[in-house]
Amino acid sequence: MKEIFTVWKETKNVMLIAVSAAVYAASLIPFKPLVIIPGSTEIRPGAVFPVILGLLFGPAGAWGSAIGNTIADIFGMFGPGTIPGFIGNFFYAYVPFKLWNRLGIFAGSNSPDFKRKNDIAQFVFVAILGSLICALLIGWGMELMGLMPFAALGVIIMLNNTIVSLVLGPFLVSGLFARIRRWGLIYDDFAKRKALISLRIRIGVLLVLIGILGGMTAGLTISTGFYSLPLGLASVSESTGGLGVIAGVFPFIAIFLAGIALL
């Protein structure tokens, strides 16, 4: 996880952060008028880019996605919600990058060039997880600030990110990867991931999966009133959302972060 910070020490990666931010912002800004929930989210075909930027540029792509989303917010939705938006879009790119070929269930591929039979399945898996963690962190953050119910925002972000990533992502990655690799701009961690899957990585992947899937499940079931927390937490918020969602989802976010730290 230290590469999140060391990436800022290299000129090439700082340049890639700037390019990634510019590409992502430019893909989002034209669609700002197409609002789904005022002040919270809009139609975002450009949401395909964080997964791509993460797979191509690693942590530089993740920082670029977070910064690019912030720049785009200035043109329509800048406010307290920009903070969870920054964090959510960072991990939307970082999770696919980190999990690629560390899953231990897809054989053979050490780069997302879609020349191997399992590449599509692996891309689908990491893109869905990236979409879910983005929805989880933004939805929880907005609930924490009292700005938007988790269920309403989380479902929209999850569906939008998943659909555009799965429909457009494989074509864009397969078309860009070889060219960008020839330019020497692919994040070099791909070569290191071919090593045997260690116990630490297996535990990390497991914790990431528990954190993401458990967090989304807890957030949606509590926010919709399907499940009420004990100790009176749900009653404080009339059985849906509020303190119940905040308390119910937080342990899973902590589990997710512990898993990411191990990868």
> Cβ neighbours of residue 243 under 8 Å, at least 6 residues apart?
233, 236, 237
Q: What is the pLDDT of residue 34?
A: 53
Q: What is the pLDDT of residue 237?
A: 42
Please report which confidence band the pLDDT of residue 238 belongs to, taking 50, 70 and 90 as the band edges: very low
CATH 1.10.287.3510 fits 3-195, yes or no: no
Mean pLDDT of the chain: 83
Taking the model in full, what pTM does it have?
A: 0.87
CB-CB neighbours of 15 under 10 Å: 12
Q: What is the pLDDT of residue 227?
A: 58
Question: Which tokens is 180 given?
Answer: 């960008």
Pairwise pLDDT comparison (188 vs 14), residue with the higher score? 14
- Residue 100 region, left (φ>0) first, then alpha (ψ -120 to 50), else beta? beta
pLDDT digits (tens, 9 = 90+) for 147-170: 888 988 888 899 989 999 999 888
Largest CA distance in the chain: 59
Domain segments of the chain as ranges: 3-195
Per-range mean pLDDT, top range of 12-21, 110-119, 146-155, 172-181: 12-21
Question: Which tokens is 12 given?
Answer: 């090439």
Q: Are 205 and 255 in contact (CB under 8 A)?
A: no
For residue 97, pLDDT over 70 is answered with: yes
CA dihedral sign of residues 191, 195, 197, 203: negative
Query: What is the distance between the alpha carbons of residues 192 and 174, in angstroms, rounded to a whole number?
Result: 21
Return the half-sphere exposure (C-beta side, CA atoms, 13 A cut-off) of residue 82.
14
- Phi, psi values for residue 71, rounded to 5°: -60, -45
pLDDT digits (tens, 9 = 90+) for 167-221: 988 888 888 888 888 888 888 654 455 444 678 888 999 999 999 999 999 999 9
Q: What is the pLDDT of residue 235?
A: 42
Query: What is the distance between the alpha carbons of residues 163 and 135, in angstroms, rounded to a whole number?
Result: 13
- CA–chain centroid gap for 149, Å, is 19
CA dihedral sign of residues 45, 17, 66, 200: positive
pLDDT digits (tens, 9 = 90+) for 239-255: 445 788 899 999 999 99
Rounded percentage of the chain residues whose pLDDT exceeds 70: 81
